[in-house]
Structure 1
Amino acid sequence: MHLISKISNKALKQVRAARAQKPMVGFVIAGTQKGGTTALDSFLRQHPAVCMPANVKETHFFYEDQHFEGLNHLFGPAYSHYHKYFVPSPQTKIVGEASPSYMWYEKAPERMYKYNPALKVILILRNPVERAFSHWNMATMRESESFDFFEAIRTERERARPKQNRTISYIERGFYVAQIRRIQRFFPDSQIKIFLSEDLRLSHQETLQKIYEFLEISPASVPPQKIVHERTYAKKISEESVSYLRKIFEPEIKHLELIIDRDLSAWLA
């Protein structure tokens, strides 16, 4: 008889109880990829009341299927593995992390909710045309993409197999409405805060103060804006690519304006 079939319900409950731990993480910067999550991560690391992962920026815990499938599906995720990333100090008031794949990956929001229903979720949205080009540049620098940008976006749907391909998702990740709705299915609006990447750049102090307030920590010091991570790419995006992507994203951007109550006309200018 298979080992799993020999496990009694009582024993299974005991194993699950042993694996379950009180949630340590109180917030996540869930996305979007290439939207400014690295910058916000670096800012929050400088706040004495915030604990971010030691030695890494992104844990990818709720993205990685191996933590939730197989025996982990039967016994429950080993949150102790997740908690090893964090080393809170006596000054720590809240623990958090930045893994931009959480916003995009379909399974992540439910996994986050099951871990901590009180989790606070921060989203940073970027013009999806610019985001796609930045994503492609990252992929080419990592040598995981050999197509030029226009060919990469033109053939994305055919090449993105399996569904939700981590690399070939330049356009797919820019459809923010569905991603926001998916998070809203599990978390109330009071636990979700949405910003634009422009907010960190153009309203640096005000934006960080809003985030401090959302996380219920002291608005102590605001790190200097110069830490924002921006890259200058060797190639510029072509007008052909811009036109192609704007036609794709225009209905999405107009819908997003209604969802987040922000003027996004500059994204289509």
Structure 2
Amino acid sequence: MILWLINLSKLFRTMNNSDIKLPNFLIVGIQKAGTTSVYNYLKQHPEVYLSPVKETDFLEKDWEKLIEQGHQFKPKKIVTFEQYKNLFKGVKNEIAIGEISPNYLFHYKTSTELIKRYVPNAKLIAILRNPVERAISDYLMHVREAQSNTSLKEQIQYKSDKSFVIIKGKYYQPVKHYFEHFGREQVSIFLYDDLRKNSKKFIQDIYKIIGVDPDFEPDTSRKLQVAQVPKNQAVNNLLVRKNPIRSLSANLLKPLLSEKKRQKLRSLLIGMNSKSKDEIDSFDEEKQLLLNLYHDDILKLQDLIDRDLSPWLTI
């Protein structure tokens, strides 16, 4: 069935796609730089249509080629052009059609090629965050989701060239690659710092880039995602990871609560076992180690995008 969909998608690419509504803008990066908030602000604009799947990741890798090679993916994974196109069936009269997949900047070599193949004229937007702050926020997310068994300090000292948490903060080469392949007129760079200072102006500047009414005022009162970490990692593992206790609890609650209420209860328990990152150590040593790693990349990026990034060079 999947191979049939792949062949069908290839047929579509050879046909006249004038009636197919695909994205004319993409937010390509980066993780932990406010893309969830931006997604919510963009969705409020009546002239904007966003993919109902926030992170489609379709233009991240050539999934169809991987399937042909025998790889298998989860049923809900967007791996064919037909599946991707279906995300935009709901487009009506919206001017700007887009999606947000913050890993497109990280996977810049494959993503640029796939963007050229499917949506070559789309406006491309990257939101960059102080890489030291971004790495810590990313690390805390992995701790919260029980996906990390290695401390941040160990990752910096022994795995800096392999840890995605760290590598994703090196922006210079990915941004340069996008500039070289699409031109500066098609690629816009925004800074997370500006989103935090004035979220309304920030999103209205994006409205201008994507060609919709820039005077529309979205509700930006909702706070940005707050990074939290577990008070007790063992309890967090029981709530987050698949395990016999969690499965038993789910089976006992099924007759009593709907799936939505069970998820709400689980989120409540996770919240009760969480504390703000402000309540824990300040990662002073890790910050300095990270800054040492990112220092030269920040300076090169500063010249490339012609923005003052000196605040990123101090702890």
Corresponding residue to 2:34 among 33, 36, 53: 36
The aligned residue for residue 168 of structure 2 is 173
SS class of match (2:121): coil
Tell me the TM-score normalized by structure 2: 0.71
- RMSD of equivalent CA atoms: 2.4
Which position in structure 2 is the counterpart of 1:265? 310
What's the CA shift for 1:15?
7.7
* Alignment partner, residue 124 of structure 2: 121
Instruction: Name which of structure 1's ranges 83-92 and 143-152 shifts more when overlaid on structure 2.
Output: 83-92
How many angstroms apart in 1 are the aligned matches of 2:114 and 2:82? 15
**Residue of structure 1 equivalent to 2:101:** 99
Shift, 1:58, TM fit: 0.6
Aligned to 1:82: 84
1:18 paired with 2:12, answer yes
Equivalent in the alignment of 1:238: 283
Q: Distance in 2 between matches of 1:173 and 1:133?
A: 12
CA contact (8 A) 2:9 2:82 kept: no
CA contact (8 A) 1:53 1:87 kept: no
Displacement of 1:94 in angstroms is: 1.8
Which consecutive residues of structure 1, in runs of 5 or more, have no partner in the other structure? Answer: 1-12, 161-167
The residue that corresponds to 1:195 in the other structure is 190
Number of aligned residue pairs: give it: 245
> TM-score of the superposition, structure 1-length normalised?
0.83
Q: Return the alpha-carbon distance in structure 2 between the equivalents of residues 15 and 142 of structure 1.
A: 35
Q: 2:157 aligns with which of 131, 148, 154?
A: 154
Partner residue, 1:186: 181
* Separation in 2, partners of 1:16, 1:97: 22
Q: What is the percent sequence identity of the aligned residues? A: 30
Deviation at 1:173, TM superposition (A): 0.7
Does structure 2 retain, via aligned residues, the 8 Å contact 1:113–1:119?
no
Contact 1:19–1:78 (Cα < 8 Å) also in 2: no
CA distance in 2, matches of 1:121, 1:175: 19
Larger radius of gyration: 2
Alignment partner of 1:219 out of 214, 219, 234: 214
- Please state how far the C-alpha of 1:152 moved relative to its aligned partner: 2.4
Letter in 1 for 2:46: P
CA distance in 2, matches of 1:185, 1:195: 18
What are the ranges of 5 or more consecutive residues in structure 2 without an aligned counterpart? Answer: 1-6, 70-78, 227-275
